[in-house]
């Protein structure tokens, strides 16, 4: 199977904000933009400062809050090709507006919430076998500083006792592992109740938890199809030893292989 990944994380918005529901609006991260006082390291001789209150930051962000940021990993395509391909694979006749952000990133505006949810929750998406990463827009996004380290991953909780089978509990469990996206609805039905599956947004740069304690009960966590993550260039889609940004050196191949052997 090929890697799948859909998330870009911006350094300016790494604050964790627990998700109350499968919502993708980064409301709390809007504070990233607002500041009414100059920072302590502000140099008035060399720099200027414009005060930006929360309300104003909200107004500035409003038209972008439902947009998405995308990037094809490992290949550049023309905007026209991307447009037609994405409309086809996302099965939408609506116009998708593209804005190039640089470094292969695009901001795209989708026609409605239904299409947006479909794009974010389904997938992984590929364009001519190249992986497409998709994530909700975030304020303060800077392409050159974007770290691509989060991807949606299915986790399963084998033989999770029946009393823990509820959406709120699944959300609590997911938030300890990553960010809750959705649950396999069949897992909540009576006949498949012993097999709980949850899709979480997992930070691949972090060490994975192998189990979770639910009070006094220890539950193992299984991960399905974890995409490769390169620790060298901090992006999803290839192993470190195959990093295109790494100078090829025969003597180095063994050094770069250590973190993928999980």
CA atoms within 13 A on the CB side of 72: 17
236 in contact with Zn ion (CB under 5 A): no
Ranges of H-type helices in the chain: 54-62, 79-89, 113-121, 167-177, 185-188
Whether residue 146 contacts residue 194, with contact meaning beta carbons closer than 8 Å, is answered with no
β partners of residue 15: none
188 in contact with Zn ion (CB under 5 A): no
* Residue among 68 and 133 whose Cβ is closer to Zn ion: 133
Minimum distance, C-beta of residue 10 to Zn ion, in the bound complex (Å): 18
10 in contact with Zn ion (CB under 5 A): no
* Residue among 214 and 226 whose Cβ is closer to Zn ion: 226
Its sign, for the CA torsion 19, 23, 28, 33, is: positive
147 in contact with Zn ion (CB under 5 A): no
Three-state secondary-structure class, residue 130: strand
* Residue among 120 and 230 whose Cβ is closer to Zn ion: 230
Question: Considering only residues 73, 230, 236, 256, which one is a binding residue for Zn ion as defined by CB under 5 A?
Answer: 230
Minimum distance, C-beta of residue 127 to Zn ion, in the bound complex (Å): 19
* Region near Zn ion per CB under 5 A, out of 74-82, 119-127, 217-225, 241-249: 241-249
Beta strand spans in the chain (E): 7-10, 68-72, 97-102, 105-109, 125-127, 130-136, 146-158, 179-183, 195-203, 211-214, 217-220, 222-224, 229-230, 235-236
Whether residue 181 contacts residue 199, with contact meaning beta carbons closer than 8 Å, is answered with yes
* Residue among 117 and 241 whose Cβ is closer to Zn ion: 241
233 in contact with Zn ion (CB under 5 A): yes
118 in contact with Zn ion (CB under 5 A): no
Question: Considering only residues 232, 239, 241, 260, which one is a binding residue for Zn ion as defined by CB under 5 A?
Answer: 232
Question: Considering only residues 177, 221, 243, 256, which one is a binding residue for Zn ion as defined by CB under 5 A?
Answer: 243
Q: Tell me phi and psi for residue 26, to 5 degrees.
A: -80, 60
* Region near Zn ion per CB under 5 A, out of 124-132, 140-148, 219-227, 239-247: 239-247
Minimum distance, C-beta of residue 245 to Zn ion, in the bound complex (Å): 5
204 in contact with Zn ion (CB under 5 A): no
Three-state secondary-structure class, residue 17: coil
Note the residues at the interface with Zn ion (CB under 5 A): 230, 232-233, 243
């Amino acid at each position: 199977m090929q890697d799948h990944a859909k998330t870009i994380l911006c350094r300016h918005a790494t604050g964790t904000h627990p998700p109350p529901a499968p919502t993708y609006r980064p409301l709390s991260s809007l504070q990233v933009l607002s500041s009414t006082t100059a920072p302590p390291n502000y140099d008035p001789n060399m720099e200027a400062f414009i005060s930006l209150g929360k309300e104003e930051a909200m107004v500035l962000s409003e038209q972008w809050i439902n947009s998405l940021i995308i990037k094809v990993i490992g290949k550049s395509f023309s905007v026209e090709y991307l447009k037609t391909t994405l409309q086809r694979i996302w099965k939408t006749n609506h116009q998708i507006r593209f804005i190039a952000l640089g470094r292969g990133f695009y901001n795209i505006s989708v026609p409605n919430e239904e299409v947006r949810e479909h794009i974010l929750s389904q997938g992984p998406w590929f364009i001519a076998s190249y992986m497409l990463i998709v994530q909700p827009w975030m304020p303060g996004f800077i392409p050159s500083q974007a770290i691509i380290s989060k991807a949606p991953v299915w986790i399963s909780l084998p033989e999770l006792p029946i009393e823990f089978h509820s959406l709120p509990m699944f959300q609590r469990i997911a938030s300890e592992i990553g960010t809750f996206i959705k649950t396999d609805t069949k897992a909540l039905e009576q006949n498949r109740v012993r097999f709980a599956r949850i899709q979480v947004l997992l930070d691949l740069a972090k060490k994975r938890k192998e189990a979770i304690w639910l009070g006094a009960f220890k539950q193992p966590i299984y991960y399905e199809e974890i995409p490769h993550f390169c620790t060298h260039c901090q992006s999803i889609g290839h192993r470190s030893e195959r990093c295109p940004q790494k100078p090829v050196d025969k003597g180095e191949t063994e050094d770069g292989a250590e973190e993928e052997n999980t």
